[in-house]
């Protein structure tokens, strides 16, 4: 069975889709596009589509990943075009490769997040980032299914900075002056989310932006030991394709 790995974006209004919303939309789009998706055997067959670490509801993303198993070999470029045309605008297919060995989810070691904080004070943001980075441990709390949980939000953060230049604007349609934070966060259990880092900034430096952050995941991939930045998780698959 051929496996196709898909990078897609969740943009604009569609950032309000939940993981379940996306999986329904993808299943329908796959059917409309006529992609020969394989089904699991058994009493109630399911399409073989698996999702790797979806961004939370309300968070935009330029780097979401899924994998589709197909019954007959498909041209990845054709699948990219057909699937993109069948998905609603805002769920946009960016790249499709044929999978080589290995587990895609394992390669997604960390994410780059961009947080836009409308109306926040740049000086306060700089100060809070400095405080956060100089701490060894920043314990935050989050309500999970198992109740309130305390965990460290500091160690997973590989880098965090206030950036001057706006990055890719995947999230907001509303344009207003804002502070932009960029961070690389390693995927851990429990997962440290951008919200947790924001809470950490409030705890260490009392930094409390006046309105909710617009969050976008810019990239995901294996973390480079030298730079600390995520590399392209498809590099391995593509190298196989070129041979």
Partner 1 sequence: MSVESLFPRLEPLLPKVQKPIQYVGGELNSTVKDWDEATVRWALMYPDAYEVGLPNQGVQILYEILNELPETLAERTYAVWPDLEALMRSEGVPQFTVDGHRPVRAFDVLGVSFATELGYTNLLTALDLAGIPLEAADRTDEDPIVLAGGHAAFNPEPIADFLDAAVLGDGEQIAIAISEVLREWKAEGSPGGRDELLMRLASTGGVYVPKFYDVEYHPDGRIMRVVPNRDGVPTRVFKHTVMDLDEWPYPKKPLVPLAETVHERFSVEIFRGCTRGCRFCQAGMITRPVRERSITTIGDMVEAGIKESGFSEVGLLSLSSADHSEIADVTRGLADRYEGSQVGLSLPSTRVDAFNIDLANELSRNGRRSGLTFAPEGGSERMRKVINKMVTEEDLIRTVTTAYSNGWRQVKLYFMCGLPTEEDVDVLGIADLAKKVIKAGREATGSRDIRCTVSIGGFVPKPHTPFQWAAQGDHETVDRRLRALRDALRSDKEYGRAIGYRYHDGKPSIVEGLLSRGDRRVGRVIRAVWEDGGRFDGWSEHFSFERWMAAAERALADVPVDVDWYTTRERDEHEVLPWDHLDAGLDREWLWQDWQDAVNNVEVEDCRWTPCYDCGVCPTMGTEIQIGPTGRKLLPLTVI
Q: Which of 6, 29, 54, 112 binds partner 1 (CB under 8 A)?
A: 29
| In the complex, minimum distance from the CB of residue 62 to partner 1, in angstroms, rounded to a whole number | 19
Q: Which residues contact 140 (CB under 8 A, 6 or more apart)?
A: 150, 151, 152, 153, 196, 199, 200, 203
Q: Which residues contact 94 (CB under 8 A, 6 or more apart)?
A: 7, 8, 9, 62, 80
13 is a site residue for partner 1 (CB under 8 A): yes
Residue 28 as a binder of partner 1 (CB under 8 A): the answer is yes
- Can you tell me which of 2, 3, 25, 191 binds partner 1, judged by CB under 8 A? 25
Determine the Cα–Cα distance for residues 38 and 200; give it in Å rounded to an integer.
Answer: 44
8 Å CB contact between 69 and 1: yes
Question: Does the protein bind partner 1 through residue 57 (CB under 8 A)?
Answer: yes
| 73-112 positions binding partner 1, by CB under 8 A | 86, 88-90
Segment 160-179, which members bind partner 1 (CB under 8 A)?
Answer: 172-174
Count Cβ atoms within 10 A of the Cβ of residue 7 and give its class: 0-12 exposed, 13-18 middle, 19 or more buried. Answer: buried
Rounded distance between C-alpha atoms, residue 131 and residue 182, angstroms = 16
In the complex with partner 1, which residue's Cβ is closer, 45 or 228?
A: 45
The residues near 128 (Cβ < 8 Å, ≥ 6 apart) are: 201, 202, 204, 205, 206, 207
Q: Is 43 in the site for partner 1 (CB under 8 A)?
A: yes
CB of 214 to partner 1, least distance (A): 9
Minimum Å gap between C-beta 115 and partner 1 is: 13
Residue 92 pairs in a beta bridge with 9
Nearer to partner 1, 75 or 106 (CB): 75
Contacts with partner 1, residue ranges (CB under 8 A): 13-14, 16-18, 20-22, 24-25, 27-32, 39, 43-45, 47, 57-58, 86, 88-90, 172-174, 211-212
């Amino acid at each position: 069975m051929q496996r196709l790995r898909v990078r897609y974006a969740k943009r604009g209004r569609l950032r309000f889709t939940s993981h379940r919303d996306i999986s329904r939309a993808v299943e329908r789009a796959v059917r409309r596009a006529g992609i020969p998706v394989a089904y699991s055997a058994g009493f109630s067959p399911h399409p073989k589509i698996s999702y790797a670490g979806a961004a939370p509801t309300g968070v935009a993303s330029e780097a979401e990943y899924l994998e589709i198993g197909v019954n007959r070999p498909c041209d990845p470029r054709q699948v990219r075009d057909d699937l993109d045309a069948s998905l609603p605008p805002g769920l946009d297919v960016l790249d499709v490769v044929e999978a080589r060995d290995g587990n895609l989810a394992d390669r997604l070691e960390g994410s780059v997040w961009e947080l836009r904080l409308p109306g926040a004070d740049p000086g306060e943001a700089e100060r809070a980032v400095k405080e956060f980075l100089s701490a060894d441990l920043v314990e935050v709390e989050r309500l999970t299914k198992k109740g309130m949980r305390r965990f460290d939000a500091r160690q997973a953060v590989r880098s965090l900075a206030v950036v001057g230049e706006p990055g890719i604007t995947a999230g907001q349609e509303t344009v207003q002056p804002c502070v932009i934070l960029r961070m690389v966060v390693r995927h851990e259990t429990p997962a440290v989310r951008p919200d947790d880092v924001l809470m950490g900034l409030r705890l260490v430096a009392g930094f409390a932006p006046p309105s909710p952050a617009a969050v976008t995941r810019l990239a995901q991939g294996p973390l480079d030991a030298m730079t600390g930045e995520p590399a392209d998780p498809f590099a391995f698959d593509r190298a196989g394709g070129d041979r």
